[in-house]
Amino acid sequence: MRIAVLASGRGSNLQSLITHWRRGTLKADIVGVGSDNIKAMALEIADQAGIPTRAFPMESYESKKDQETDILNWLEELGVELLVLAGYMRILSKDFIRRAEYPIINIHPSLLPSFPGLNAQKQALDYGVKVSGCTVHFVDEGVDSGPIILQQAVPVYEEDDVKSLSLRILKVEHQIYPEAVRLIAEGRVKRQGRRVIIFRDS
């Protein structure tokens, strides 16, 4: 399965996908990495791994629609079968999602549907939950609202701050995102409306 990754920043989830790919456990090829941020570490990580990169900085376009059209054309040229968002900080428009002919997945640092949107770890701490975690989900037209593929919980401790909780969640993100991609690439993920059924190894 040919996958492309869109990322805006640090790229640690991209790095973990590349590591699994190199180990042969991803069962998918990363054929391109794109970013809206020319300075994204994610682009450097991809470059170093020999993966083709492309930047789509908003300043270079007259409108978000033009930027998204460019991204869609690039993904089509790459023959992408799955689009993986890994810290891509822009909300894809409804039009983009309708025009993409492949599934799009995202990882979010909370147990959705709790704490969608920005600063999920801070939202969880401020709310006072005792358990948080991360969610891999299909992207639909809402914000962090698509069908859930995988989730994993982590404890929230009294002494936690945003940094410590984010780190604990990130470690788990690096495990479940490659796992979700592997399951999709192996055809083990089926959508039934909002529910996602996983056919695991028997």
Is 174 designated active site?
no
Structure tokens at 19: 């590591």
Nearer of residues 79 and 117 to ligand GRF, judged by Cβ: 117
Q: Report d(CA 155, CA 168) in Å as an integer.
A: 9
- CA angle 70-72-78, nearest 5°? 105
Taking CB positions, which residue lies at the least distance from ligand GRF? 87
To ligand GRF, the closest distance from the beta carbon of 73 in angstroms equals 24
Tell me how far, at minimum, the Cβ of 192 lies from ligand GRF, in Å: 25
Output 69 or 171, the one with its CB closest to ligand GRF: 171
C-beta of 54 vs 108, nearer to ligand GRF = 108
Interface residue list for ligand GRF (CB under 6 A): 7, 9-13, 86-87, 107-109, 134, 170, 173
How far, in Å, CA of 62 to CA of 80, rounded? 26
- Proportion of the chain in helix, strand, coil states, percent, rounded to 5: 40, 25, 40
As measured in angstroms, the least distance from the Cβ of 89 to ligand GRF is: 8
Beta pairing class for 195-198 and 189-192: antiparallel
Catalytic positions? 108
